[in-house]
Amino acid sequence: MFVFARIGGEWRVAMVQQPRLGKRMIPGGHVEDDETAAEAGERETEEETGLRGVKLLEPARPDLPSGYPHPRMPQPWWVSELRVPADNHLGEPHVHVDHVFVALADPDEPAGDGVHETVWMSLEELLEHPDVFEDTKLLAKELFPRIGEIAPVESI
C-alpha cells in the first residue's frame, strides 16, 4: 500500500525495511481468510509501520446503478501478478497477486511503531535508493505528481 503524508510541506511515502528480502518496500502482505484485500492492506500497514487509521484513496470508477443491492468494495489502483519462489506462506513457487492500494496517513501519527523499520521518503529519495524494487519506483513516479490532486483538501 502506498501510504502518503504531507510532511514539512512535501508529500512523502512510508517505506518499510523488509528483512527477509533486504529491500525497502511499501507495506503489505497476505490476505487472511476473514478479510478483504483492502482490510489486509490496512492491517498489514498498521502491523508493519504502526500507522493506524490510514484513509484509502480510490481510483476513479463508474457509479453503480441506483438500487444495486450489494456494498461497493474499496478498489485497488493496480492489480498485478508475478511468479515468486517458495516463501514462508507457500512452500512451492506460485503466482503472487498484488492489490496495490493508495492511502493517506495523518502526518502527526509517527511511523515506526510497527514490526519493520519505517521511513518517510520523498520521490527523489525513493528513486535514488538502490534497495527499492523497480516496479515500486515506476508506480511511485505515477502517483507522486498526482497525489496533491487526488488527496481530499481537508487532509492537506
Helix (H, G, I), strand (E, B) or coil at 128: helix
- What pLDDT score was predicted for residue 156? 44
Measured CA to CA in angstroms, residue 2 lies from 30, 47, 63, 69 at distances of: 16, 15, 24, 31
pTM higher than 0.75: yes
91, 33 contact by CB (below 8 A)? no
Tell me the three cell numbers of residue 112: 515506526
Question: pLDDT tens, 28-45?
Answer: 988 999 999 999 999 999
Q: Which of 122, 100, 133 shows the shortest CA–CA distance to 24?
A: 133
Question: pLDDT tens, 97-128?
Answer: 999 999 999 888 767 678 888 999 999 999 99
Q: Check residue 82 and report its DSSP letter.
A: E
